[in-house]
Homo-oligomer: A and B are copies of this chain.
Amino acid sequence: MGGHRVAVVGATGAVGQELLRILEERKFPIAELKVLASGRSAGKEVEFQGERVKVEEAQPESFRGVDLAFFSAGGSVSQELVPEAVKRGAVCIDNTSAFRMDPQTPLVVPEVNPEDLRWHQGVIANPNCSTIIMCVALWPLHRAAGLRRIVVSTYQAVSGAGARAIEALRTQSRAILDGREFTPEVLPYAKAPRHYQIAFNLIPQIDVFAEAGYTKEEWKMVHETQKIMHDPEIRVTATTVRVPVFRCHSESLNLETERKLTVAEAQRLLSEAPGVALMDDPAQMLYPMPADLSGRDEVFVGRVREDPTIPCGLNLWVVGDQIRKGAALNAIQIAELLDA
């Protein structure tokens, strides 16, 4: 076969750009490519396989003849256009939160629950970036020892808030080093009533506030993890924090398992797990750091320690590229599995 007729919606954003790069890298079979975006970006050009492709405005009719569509243009675009694309025969892999908790929509991390792809009805949801990274690292431990509780504190890169947030970190950092004033405009999220400095700062808010004082991002890590792992008994509590790092998310994880895991066992399980790279040697000062791991596909795990304050406790430090495994790569891995 000559490959798919693919649409990439949100092609000019940070994730859309990475999607195009990874489709190229992995030689994903493409017969025809449409690059779509909001009206604002229509007319721009993007590069694909050495050619410049014009960005068209995403509209219902754009999906005529498309059999595979990647969405990463925000929740409201997906809400509106995913059903239109499905109606026209496209399978949609949606990177927004629009359909993630819909019981009719599988939420898939290929290393964890590929079998959920069997029951899709045209839409497959790509999980939240922090959740994907956490689930890849924890799945081998869950299978071996049964996760009962996760306490997670995140250290999330600005890439998670898009290309403008990456630029904001750059320009704010320079302004501070030069002693110039500036007006924050992007974080914690673009439409927020006020905005905060991220350069040389931490913002303990990602996405809007929701129930019980938790942010939506924090609730996503709870509910999406339970859905992906098919286990509503896994208790998760999260504190999510934006840090002045460009594109790798990091997470400090405290785990309670049903069965005791020694450090050696956990390290062995992690080193054998698909999609995971163990990077853990204190004697060599070896542990994952976000600046080193941009552009890498694996989720890196280090600082594996028994937590002696509970009978079956472990601490881990996890780092993964937010734009790749946290978003674009996971979506393309889903598409590859659909083809397999």
Which residue from B200, B241, B250 sits with its C-beta under 8 Å from A246? Answer: B200
Contact A289 B245 (CB under 8 A): no
- Known A155-B155, A308-B237, A309-B236; contact A204-B302, beta-carbon cutoff 8 A: yes
Q: Which residue of B lies closest to A305 (CB)?
A: B213
A72 to chain B, nearest CB (A): 24
User: What are the residues of chain B within 8 A of A151 when measuring CB–CB?
Assistant: 151, 254, 307, 309
**Docked pose: A245 CA to B203 CA in angstroms:** 12
A315 in contact (CB, < 8 A): yes
* Contact across chains for A263 and B213 when beta carbons are under 8 A apart: yes
Chain A contacts with B in 194-243, Cβ cutoff 8 A:
194, 196-197, 199-205, 209, 212-214, 235-237, 239, 241, 243
Among the stretches A24-32, A115-123, A169-177, the one at the interface with B is: A169-177
CB of A236 to closest CB in B, whole Å: 7
Identical chains bound together, number: 2
A interface residues, Cβ below 8 angstroms from B: 149, 151, 153, 155, 169-170, 173-174, 177, 188, 192-194, 196-197, 199-205, 209, 212-214, 235-237, 239, 241, 243-246, 250, 252, 254, 263, 282-283, 285, 287-292, 302-310, 313, 315, 317
Overall SS of chain A's interface: mixed
A174 CA to B315 CA in the complex, in Å? Answer: 34
Q: Give the chain B neighbours of A236 by CB distance below 8 A.
A: 309
Interface pair B212/A289, CB less than 8 Å apart: no
CA–CA, A302 to B203, complex, Å? 12
